[in-house]
Structure 1
Amino acid sequence: MSQAPSPSMQAYRASVLHFRADPAFTPDAYSWHEDGLLIVDGGKIHAAGDYARLASTLPEGVTVHDYRGKLITPGFIDTHLHFPQTDMIASPAPGLLPWLETYTFPTERQFSEPEHAREVAEFFLDELLRCGTTTAMVYCTVHRESVDAFFEASEARNLRMVAGKVLMDRNCPEFLCDTAESGARDSEDLIRKWHKRGRSLYALTPRFAPTSTEAQLRLTGELAAAYPDTFIQTHVSENDAECTWVRKLFPKARSYLDVYDGFGLMRPRAMYGHCIWLDDDDFARMAATGSAAAICPTSNFFLGSGLFDFEKADAARVLLSLATDVGGGTSFSMLQTMNEAYKVARLKGSYLPAVRMFYLATLGAARSMQLEGSIGSFAPGLDADFIVLEPACTPLLARRAERCANLEELLFALALLGDDRAIRATYAAGHKVHERLPQ
């Protein structure tokens, strides 16, 4: 073509994969172009398809980045993790509650110091990008300083991130305890400061029901109603001992999930971490309210919490996504998280195809967050957040990839054998924010 290219237009040649629907329910759920082209303009997706069809549409002078032999997908989306727990990942404990008391709370105490919070946030975000994660739902600490530090660091990288100040006004150390009123006041101030500022989005973040009084949960529900386009994130039904504790603290609630429902905290953009011990009524309620489940297999294995029931959740058509849950989770890598999710499904008697795992880590997560109009696929106009996967990143993966007969086998090999080394490059809003140079 003869017209001058947009100064910001770039093109990327590789195999290109993205999703239109959940492969568990829709046969033609994805688009895969074995020799594909992704065109980006102004930080947005311009087009994605076969190279043979799209190459001729490029204006003269547009740079085509050659990633042949590699796979481009939307950036991974991690729907549940804790940036203050970066430095205590892989800490030994006999279960969730002693792990919180011994490691989590003392570590989070340090985040009242802005300089410390900023340094950890920088490392945390670099680690996410190294693992191909371009969006995450992130827990900060009770300190406002931790939220400011996180969003300042993500804003500097122009990342689409969701985060919020943790709310705790009981059953926690005094040095981490706020009040119902101060927690609500701080949260509203932070919403006004950060929500929808650039690519930042705010999440109301009661840690979990045992550490919030009814007064705090009620005020959080009021904020959720007053700011309906904010997010909600918390934990539910992760661990047997935790569930027993909730029954004692909230004896009138039908279930652990019902505690949140009673305070108006179940709605679209509400993300519930773990969801292991939910019953059929709970899953039905999640589906009815548009609330979503963040499945955290590495954390659940590490803490011995239990196995997520994919079949029961799918029967109710609950919105699902995958999450690392760092630092209970033992890896920032969504590929390693897929590896463990596959094993969870097998141990529960079901099967999780690789195409579904990649869906859950991209468009499935975006839909769970009600962000499919911004991220999660290569539909024109969406943010150009994408990654380049390198099947030849290790000798073993390269050998297995050479023998893959179809896309499912290739994705399965990446999920079961891949880790951060498989991420050749990470792009956010069309700009390269990480590159792993060939060894």
Structure 2
Amino acid sequence: MLHLRRRVLALLATMLGLLLSIGLQPQPAAADPPQYTITVEPVAQTQIAGKWAYLTTHVRSASRSVDHVRVDIKIVSGPNTGPLASSWTDPSGDTTEEISYAYGSVQQLQMSVTEDNGAVDTAEPITVTWLPAATISLAPQAQTAYLGRPAALTATVTVPDGGTLPSSVDFAIQGANSGQSGSKPLVVDSPTSGHADFGYTSQSLTSDTVTASVFDSACVTDQSAAVTVDWQPPFAATLAPATQSAFTGRTASVTATIAQDGAPYSGGPVEFTVTSGPNASRTGSATTDADGHAVFRYSGSAAGRDSIEASFTDPAGATHRTNTVTVDWADAPITATGQDLAERECRRFTAAVAGFTVPDPQAAATEYAAVVDWGDDTRSSTGTVTGPTGGPFTVSGSHRYMWAGDYTVTVTITAVAHPSDHATATTRVRVG
């Protein structure tokens, strides 16, 4: 029992010692408040790369301005992180710093003041957004060009409001045609944008990479993304036949032939135009077949010479024009002859009074009209035209003579669609 009591007392003594030791340990002193209050304005701003951004720092201690205190400026995020500059406050406790950056980016900066005891007091970070002094793009991104015809590229340059447009654009070709690299003047489209056109040709089947660049107001070279130009064999477009003749009212046809590198090109769109002549402004379109042929057919409505031209647009958008061909349209001349008759007076008869031919193998009887003047002071009548396609044709009529005698019948034949094409036949009728 005594032994147990001693153990309990020893344990209590140990615990009391521990408690006393804890209570006697020195406690850490409370942190001193910052000596300086630092604010910066503006807290965010946007500026063109290469120009100055202005930052004003206010340093206060117990609400009073602090003169001749060094303010350290540090970039805490974005390009070039680390110390940037230092400046000293004026009697108002303020300092203004000019900063600049040559490239488009976003930077966060923080101002700080070091106390005499080495503690560092900091302001909240501020943000400066730098706009690129110039942005350049090149189009099209990819194109197919053909030997002997220029590839066309356009560079577009933009600057922020208040920025300065460059005066020229440099084009660089990487590839077999690098020797044609060069500079072009910038065409100003607006106060903040402009463009420059660049073209070059190739004599070899190759692929080029092209970039455009400008030297901007921040003394930085801005470069576009690279574009590609793929050179392909050239196209040839011809139209045939060179000349042909056709009768008005009939159909003439011309054939365009499109070839690439001497081989037929199929599936190509071809546009045809009658550029001059009595049938000017007639147009048509067709697509080349497996032989590279596209055919245009049209009907001539008037006599004269037509000129026809065709054009083909290749996959790169370039237009290839053919040679000019001609079609001579003429009215098919009518050759008419009379057929003498012998009839009796007071008796109505129906007979062939004339015949005619035309040199048009497609001519049809329905394309002609005939008028018969019977020569007896009666009213003329309409003749009936019959005959196979291409002729010869016959004109028939019905009439009755009231008195015996010799009469001269005049038959006038006219092409219905072309009244200027006509002929006259004379027939003698003996009545008695």
Q: Same fold (TM over 0.5)?
A: no
Instruction: Give the alignment's TM-score, normalised by structure 2.
Output: 0.18
Flag the structure with more relative contact order, 1 or 2, with Cα contacts below 8 A and sequence separation at least 6.
1
Instruction: Give the alignment's TM-score, normalised by structure 1.
Output: 0.17
Flag the structure with higher helix content: 1
Flag the structure with higher strand content: 2
